Amino acid sequence: MVEARTERPLQILFAFMGLHGRLRFFDAVIEGLVERGHQVHVVLESDGWGDGVERAWRDRMAQKAGFSEEVVLRQKPSFMPTASCPTHSGHGQSPAGGPSYVTPNALGQTSSRW
């Protein structure tokens, strides 16, 4: 059953590093928004992730009015700081009491949340 089309369509942007592992959460949402008359644009950071399932979905969606996509390759690698999880025993914590990647500033202070 297809719901009635919306009277005031929205322009919606989804940005993903890649579709691998995300389609199972977002495919029905994106398809439903397009079917209801909204404009949906998907920006992918990488075109190389995934398999034939993702490619087939993208090809099928490209045929639908209201759907668009683009691949924007990053110039620099992602910054993903490595973090250790503080535990009750203190492993992975700095002397300041926060995670080991938090370092005090020049005055020896850390963020108030630590």
> Please, what sign has the CA dihedral across residues 85, 91, 97, 99?
negative
Tokens of 63: 């045929």
pTM: 0.60
pLDDT digits (tens, 9 = 90+) for 48-90: 656 788 888 999 999 999 999 998 876 665 555 555 444 444 4
Angle between helices 52-62 and 23-35 (to 10 degrees): 10
Distance CA 44, CA 103 (A): 34
Residue 114 has what pLDDT?
Answer: 41
Residue 73 has what pLDDT?
Answer: 78
Residue 113 has what pLDDT?
Answer: 47
Distance CA 10, CA 108 (A): 49
Distance CA 4, CA 16 (A): 28
Query: For the chain, how far is it from start to end, CA to CA, in angstroms?
Result: 51
SS3 label, residue 28? helix
SS3 label, residue 65? coil
Distance CA 38, CA 67 (A): 8
